[in-house]
Structures are given as C-alpha cells and as structure tokens.
Amino acid sequence: MGRRANGEGSIFPYRNGWAGYVWVTTPEGKKTRKWVYGQSREEAHSKWIKLHAQATRGPIASKVPTLGAYLDYWVRDVVEPNLAPSTVANYEMFARLYIKPDLGRKRLDRLSVRDVQSWCTRLRKTCQCCAQGKDARRHESDRKCCAVGSCCRQLPSDRTVRDAWAVLRAALNNAVREELIARNVAALIRVPKPRRRKIKPWTVDEARRFLESARTRRDPLYAAYVLILVLGLRRGEVLGLRWEDVDLDNAEISIGWQLQRVRGRLYHRETKTESSDAVLPLVEPCVAALRDRRAEQNAARLRAGRDWVETGLVFTTVTGRPVEPRNFNRSFAAAIRHAQVPRIPLHATRKTCASLLVALDVHPRIVMQILRHSQIGVTMNVYSEVYSEETLEALRKLGRRLA
C-alpha cells in the first residue's frame, strides 16, 4: 500500500467498513474528534480529506441537526424575534408544508445541491391536495378528489416554488453564519423568477363611479376607499390609522401603524419598514371624507352606549372594535358589485392612485411625496402617461365631483 500520508493513521477498519476522524474546532472553541465512515478505505479516505480541508478553513460543528430540526429552531429563535408576524407566519408555513416533508430528515451538513434541485423539480410536479391531505381532512361526505382516488392536480405555482426555495436559502444562509455548514447549497441552484401577472387598474371614470356609488349608499368605509384610491394607502395602513395621526386642520396624516390578523391574532403594530412611514398631505376630498367619518363614528358611539369599545382607530365597527381585514375585503368586493365596475384586487387600487391625484390638480412634488417615489422623474413619468388631451376633461370632472 506504500507509505501512508501524514494523519492517515486515523483511518482504520471499523465493523463492516472503514472509519476515520479529524480533530476539529467547534464554533464554541472546543477541540473534538469528528468522524467519517465509508464502505471502503478509499471512500473513507475521500471523506477524511474533505473534512480535513474544512477543518483547516474554520470551525466545524461536531453535532449537526437535521434540516427539519434546524428549520424549527430558525423560525423560533431567529425569525420570530426579528421579523413581522406575517413574515414569520409565511416562513413557518413554507417550512412546514413544502420543505420539511421532503427534505426534513436530511442532516444539515449532508444536504447537497442535487438534493435541493431534485426537491424543486418534485415540488413542481406534486399535487399539494394529495401531499397536504387537504381533501382527506374534509368530512367524508364532502370528499371529492384526492381522498377518493381522483387527483385534482393542484400543483404549486412558479411563485410558490420560488418562495419555498427562498425560505430554504434564507435558513441555510443563517446556518452558514452559525458555522454549522460551510456553504449554502440552495444558493447554488437557479430557480426561475416568475413573471408578475399584470392587472389592469381602473380608469379614472371607473374610479369615479366606484367612489360616487359608495358615497351615495353611505358606505361606512367610504372614507377608507378614498384614502386607498387617492393616497395609495395599503389595507393594513388604512385599518390601523388612528385619529391621533390625523390632522384635519393642517390637512395631514401620519402613516406609521398597520392592522393585521396573523395566526388568528389581531396585531396593531408599526409598519413593516421605515420607508412605509410618512406624513402625507390630505387633498380636499380626503379631508371631507374624514370629517364625515368622524361624525358617523361619534353617532355610532352614542348609539352603542356601554357596548362601545374605544380603540382610537378611524375605521371601526358599530361598537368601536377594529375592522377585520377580511371583512374589509368583502366590503370592498360588495362595493364593486354595487358600482358595477370591473372587479380588481384591493392592492391593485394603488395603480389608480396616480391618475386620481392628477385629476385633483395636485402638484407633482406632492404627488411624489404621496406615492413615496424616491425621484421626481418617476412621478413625472406618471404625469406623462395620464395627462393627455383625451383624459384631461375626465380628470377634471372627477376633481369637481369629489370636491
């Protein structure tokens, strides 16, 4: 066999194969043996060489958890204390439903690029109704597809696959930082970025019809619709708006809070990022709508009497409690049906916001502030798209109607 290389004396026959060890330094600074095994001496020697190389580059964990156990730790001790509740819920969901069932038993340091690539491929082809037992959880009389032998082929979208991969990549990045593994194998594969589905926003006339319909019906959320369409606020920002953040005399509102329901719990918390916070000027239709809203809420407080719960929020139920985000979506959908305008998702209303601001003859600098653009050039591009001879009269008509 010839003379052995330095250190090869730590490779020896073991049970039905070969074993070897390398002295390594753990992330805690302790010296310990780390073992490798193989069916043949050559296999054990190859693993020993790799481990020896890793040991020379830096600390190595002597005990490595499975991917499933590490994901549980990562969500609980790393993600939850540092990120928003909705983000935590999303990460936990992707780990539990999409990653752990297939890769959870793999030891963290033995997860390979091929493992991750194969997982992505399988995920695209796996019916999630079957995998997650959705149909099986229904009452026996209501089962209609996978649980009765008729697979519905509920395949995950490209967006879902990419999001699941992104969660795995983020978890492995943290494992690299904690020196549990030497490299992030998830970062070494390519996952196509899906194209965003383009949603056609409302025209100015359709937005006018929607707002006029809500105002005529005295919809209690009319002022919220105005803020969403004219200021481009998000659902959580509108529902989390407090009266102490509204200054009608100076025509300003401060955006810094949001309302969200996550895992069955309602959160009234600060907005996700500092860039979401802003002091926005209120154009006249917003001021008028908020004055009416305050009068309606005062009347509701008197009617409710002892049943009233004071929350300080602008938009509340008839007893002062926060408006449920899902109920707001339902009310918005009902308002669309009443107005007989095209149905669009709630978040698509932001795309209509710029057109409405132009309609109200708002100065470009103020539009830039409201839309939270970083450069005036972006705002002027919006003006150039909207401000044409064909739409000018319609825009000004809307401004007169909302004033």
CB 228 within 8 A of CB 346: yes
In this prediction the pTM is 0.70
What's the CATH number for 67-188? 1.10.150
CB 7 within 8 A of CB 51: no
More confident residue, 30 or 249: 249
Q: Assign 280 a pLDDT band (cuts: 50, 70, 90).
A: confident
Identify the bridge partners of residue 24 per DSSP, sorted by sequence position.
32
Given its phi and psi angles, is residue 232 left (phi above 0), alpha (psi -120 to 50 degrees) or beta?
Answer: left
* pLDDT surpasses 80 at 72: yes
DSSP 107: B
* pLDDT tens, position by position, 46-61: 888 888 887 887 777 6
Domain with CATH 1.10.443.10 in the chain: 204-402
Euclidean distance between CA atoms 356 and 362, whole angstroms? 9
CATH tag for 204-402 (out of 1.10.443.10, 2.60.40.790, 2.40.10.10, 3.30.300.30): 1.10.443.10
Burial class (CB in 10 A: 0-12, 13-18, 19+), 318: middle
pLDDT, mean of residues 6-14: 69
Domain with CATH 1.10.150 in the chain: 67-188
Q: Assign 36 a pLDDT band (cuts: 50, 70, 90).
A: confident
pLDDT, mean of residues 25-54: 83
* pLDDT tens, position by position, 225-264: 999 988 888 899 999 999 999 999 998 898 888 898 888 8
pLDDT of residue 3: 47
* pLDDT surpasses 70 at 2: no
The mean-pLDDT minimum among 248-257, 261-270, 297-306, 385-394 falls in 385-394
pLDDT of residue 390: 43
